[in-house]
Amino acid sequence: MSLKERIRKELEVLSAEKRFRVLPDTGVRQGAFIGSRGKKLLNLSSNDYLGIGDDTWLRNQYLLAFDPESESGGFSMTSSSSRLLTGNHRLYNEIEDYLASWYNREAALVFNSGYHANIGILPALSARHDLILCDRLNHASIIDGCRIADAEFKRFRHRDYEHLETLLEKGYGNYRQMFIVTESVFSMDGDRADLEKLCDLRERYGVFLIVDEAHGAGVCGESGKGLCEESRLSGSIDIIVGTFGKAFASAGAYGIMDGIVRDYLVNTMRSLIFTTALPPVILGWNMLVLEHQRAMSAKRFHLHSLAERFREALREKGLRTTGESQIVPVITGGNNKTVHVAEVLREAGFLALPVRPPTVPENTARIRFSLRADIVWEDIAVIPDILCQAAGGGET
């Protein structure tokens, strides 16, 4: 069988199992709404948790601040080089200094994306005499980074810290270095890691702890530093990874760390070294958003209150949901049912896309609602009733 024939058969299987995906043709975004297939829908599948992406005042401030005619070149559309050559624009240094000061840590390092961060950090820091312990439900980019690394790689059961400690006990003294890597707010279930427990294990077993705040940065903590700030543990975590591509409504990512670790990554992290740097036009927006989002604590409070009310309303209807964050999944089970429910929601004016295996475990397909601070309860109050009817009551 030729390669194309094999591919065709695999695609036929995906289609039969309702797993075949296509890139959506999305239209104009207007605040919390988005155009899709000729309809204006409330966008509940975006990671723009604070609604910054359509903040016209902030965008106008940015356009005024970064004049394309200025000598600083702050509005340049490209870097055209890696950071170690000519791509390390002054804005990189400003952002990294700002981040280090904000987190009260020695150093920060900006990356092109959260994916670049996660596939580069562990392979750079670990070697074949080391052990990486990874939460089973960590994001695919973290799993890929673990697989790329030369170190031995084991998963512990999701948020099962007794299982994690068992693995640490078995590994203690048998490896040069042990690493723990976890998300803070998990992207599919919307639940949170127990950072206090993880920091305790870090101290007792001498492990290197990495926490990915992709869905926590901007959303958690008084000033938006994430669950690490909310838990008062920012100084006890070896590397905190955050992203600009979600609540901060831009592109890129960052790591918070000690200075010596930063120096080592600059010299060894392949996904940092061998890629073109971010354009200054992006870096300037990142800097402006970082400064202004610190004052958005009222938006963060509203978002968490909205999510709590929505989750409770779903449970009152007998629907299966999990988590404790702005990510509210409704687990419908089978792929066919999940796709059907998403279509019913679309007809009712809501864009809430289905998430199916292999992104989530078998028989746990779901509608994942990503709530936003620029909507109110009245915008989503009817959804539990729609879901209950579309999914056949509380059945999963």
Q: Is 231 exposed, middle or buried (0-12, 13-18, 19+ CB in 10 A)?
A: buried
Rounded to an integer, what distance in angstroms lies between the CA atom of residue 38 and that of residue 309?
31
What's the whole-number mean pLDDT along residues 164-192? 97
Task: For each of the domains in the chain, give its residue range(s) and CATH number, in order of start.
Answer: 22-50+297-390 (3.90.1150.10), 63-293 (3.40.640.10)
pLDDT grade for 393, boundaries at 50, 70 and 90: very low
- How wide is the angle at C-alpha 25 spanned by C-alphas 282 and 251, nearest 5°? 15
Q: What is the pLDDT of residue 66?
A: 66
- Residue 235's contacts (CB-CB under 8 Å, 6 or more residues apart) are 104, 105
pLDDT of residue 69 exceeding 70, the answer is: no
pLDDT at 34: 94
Cβ distance 227 to 185 under 8 Å? yes
What residues pair up with 254 in beta bridges, in sequence order? 110, 242
Q: What are phi and psi of 61, to 5 degrees?
A: -60, -40
Band of residue 161 on the pLDDT scale cut at 50, 70, 90: very high
Tell me the average pLDDT across 368-375.
97
Q: What is the distance between the alpha carbons of residues 300 and 171, in angstroms, rounded to a whole number?
A: 40
**Distance, CA of 227 to CA of 67 (rounded, Å):** 36
Please give the pLDDT value at position 26.
Answer: 81
- Give the alpha-carbon dihedral of 351, 354, 359, 361, to 10 degrees: 140
Contact 281, 66 (CB under 8 A): yes
* CA dist., res. 66 & res. 89, Å (int): 14
Question: Taking residues 124-137, what's their average pLDDT?
Answer: 97
Q: What is the mean pLDDT of residues 140-154?
A: 98
Residue 189 · residue 321 · CB < 8 Å: no
Q: Of 295, 264, 255, 216, nearest to 99 (Cα)?
A: 255
The model's pTM is 0.94
Q: From the CB of residue 190, how many other CB atoms can be counted at a distance below 10 Å?
A: 23
Q: Is a pLDDT exceeding 70 seen at residue 392?
A: no
24-41 mean pLDDT: 88
Q: With CA atoms as reference, report the closest residue to 62 among 286, 279, 244, 252.
A: 286
Which pLDDT does position 395 carry in this prediction? 41
Helix (H, G, I), strand (E, B) or coil at 54: helix
CA separation for the pair 17, 299 (Å, rounded): 40
User: Among 51, 58, 50, 99, which Cα is nearest to 225's?
Assistant: 99
pLDDT 10s digits, 148-157: 999 999 999 9
Over the stretch 191-202, which tens digit does the pLDDT of each residue have? 999 999 999 999
Quickly state the pLDDT bin for 72 (edges 50, 70, 90).
Answer: low
Quote the pLDDT of residue 71: 56
Residue 158: the pLDDT is 97
Per-residue confidence (pLDDT) for residue 64, from 0 to 100:
81
Contact predicate 150/123, CB 8 Å: yes
- Give the model's pLDDT for residue 74: 54
Q: If you average pLDDT over residues 118-132, what whole number do you get?
A: 98
Q: Is the Cβ–Cβ distance between 277 and 261 less than 8 Å?
A: no
φ, ψ of residue 68 to 5 degrees: the values are -65, -15
CA torsion through residues 156, 161, 164, 170, sign: negative
* pLDDT over threshold 90, residue 372: yes
Nearest CA among 126, 119, 103 for reference residue 261: 126
Q: 371 — alpha (psi -120 to 50), left (phi > 0) or beta?
A: beta
pLDDT at 67: 63
Average pLDDT over residues 291-318: 97
Q: How confident is the model at residue 394 (pLDDT cuts 50, 70, 90)?
A: very low
Position 37 scores a pLDDT of 84
HEC letters along 138-179: CCHHHHHHHHHCCCEEEEECCCCHHHHHHHHHHHCCCCCCEE
Average pLDDT, the chain: 94
- Return the structure tokens found at 205: 């077993």
Q: What mean pLDDT is predicted for residues 17-27?
A: 87
Q: Collapse the DSSP code of 278 into the 3-class scheme (helix H, G, I; strand E, B; otherwise coil) and give the result.
A: coil
